[in-house]
Structure 1
Amino acid sequence: MGIKSFQGARRQQTSTTDTTPLKVSDYMTTNLITFTPNQTIESVMQSLIKNRISGGPVVNEKNELIGIISEGDCIKQISESRYYNMPMQDKTIEKHMAMNVETIDGNMNIFDAAKKFLDAKRRRFPIVENGKLVGQISQKDVLKAAMKLKGQNWK
């Protein structure tokens, strides 16, 4: 009577890189609310409120990213218009948007993107391909990605 070796059923090793998308482009928003440089500050404020967003990319007629406008930029205009006692109805966002916009690569790993958010202290990063705006990743998108990956090895 020989000794029989018994080995129980092995759980298959799952690799997050093979099964779970980890790129920024997998979690970015592509259906964006964008603004144009000749829009009035007032119309931008209405859009931010209506769409419950804190800012958005500014693009030209070729959908090329030229800036970002945020709630903070609008609040600054409210404050300045009061200080100088000048109405702001006709002011466009062109001179008030942030123009040195930091973008993020759609192929970047989502965890590297999380680190970039921490280092840059930004709420959102646009994604540009071939000069055109293709999407945006926000801190909330990174949180959603983390929740989808919950329970897996984060490598």
Structure 2
Amino acid sequence: MGIINFQGKRNNRPIKKREPILVSDYMTKKLITFREDQPIEDVIEVLIKNKISGGPVVNNNNELIGIISEGDCMKQISESRYYNLPIDRNNTVGKAMVREVETIDGNMNILDATNKFLESRRRRFPIVENGKLVGQISQKDVLIAAMKLKGNTWK
């Protein structure tokens, strides 16, 4: 009995080299930022209106100088309400923000960023290039990236 369906020599398929999925592919570039001299009440209104949990604080040169979160704002409210006082208009972002901010490199693989989120227990990381704020990656951005990877190899 002979070979019935011989189609010739099969060529080896070229192995496609997968580009790593980078933080910069999923980071948010249009950011809501805050200034050091902004009143806390203004920040709270922006957080509520835009349904965000915090944001970077920048100076006039768009350099990252801190980060403000809902928790930072809640501390200010707690202190004023404890003493039954209105929120002091002199309570500014500069007094409430965290100044030591951990950042992520935009060229980092998204899965490495996932591990950084898990280790640090942070909700967001700013991305800085040449001293300027260029974006921010959140846990939700990482989840979006993971869903796009679904069915692929995780390399």
TM-score by length of 2: 0.89
> 5 Å matches for 1:32-111?
32-90=31-89, 91-111=91-111
After TM superposition, the score normalised by the length of structure 1 is: 0.89
- State the SS of the aligned residue for 2:93: coil
The structure-2 alpha-carbon separation of the partners of 1:61 and 1:16, relative to structure 1 and needing over 3 Å to count, comes to: same
Q: For structure 1, which segment, 6-15 or 30-39, has the greater mean C-alpha deviation from structure 2 after superposition? A: 6-15
**Equivalent residue, structure 2, for 1:133:** 133
Deviation at 1:8, TM superposition (A): 9.9
**Structure 2: which amino acid aligns with 1:80?**
E
Q: Which runs of 5+ in 1 are unaligned?
A: none
Cα gap change, 1:7 to 1:111, in 2 (>3 Å): farther
CA separation in 1, counterparts of 2:122 and 2:8?
Answer: 52
Count of residues paired in the alignment: 153
Q: Does 1:153 align with 2:137?
A: no
- Structure 2 Cα separation of the partners of residues 56 and 140 of structure 1: 14
Does residue 144 in structure 1 map to residue 144 in structure 2? Answer: yes
The alpha-carbon deviation at position 87 of structure 1 amounts to 2.7
**Partners of 2:14 and 2:48 in 1: how far apart?**
47
Distance 1:74 1:41 in 2: 7
Q: Distance in 2 between matches of 1:17 and 1:59?
A: 36
Structure 2: tracts of 5 or more residues without a match: none
Q: CA RMSD in A?
A: 2.4
Shift of 1:85: 3.9
Instruction: Please identify, of 4-13 and 126-135, the stretch whose mean Cα deviation from structure 2 is larger.
Output: 4-13
Aligned pair in 2 of structure 1 residues 115, 7: CA closer, same or farther (>3 Å)? Answer: farther
Mapped to 2, the partners of 1:135 and 1:142 lie a distance apart of 14
SS of the residue 1:94 aligns to: helix
Name the SS for the 2:94 alignment partner.
coil
**1:128 and 1:145 mapped to 2: Cα distance?**
20
Contact 1:16 1:153 in 2 (8 A): no
For the 8 Å contact 2:62–2:132, the answer to whether it is kept is yes
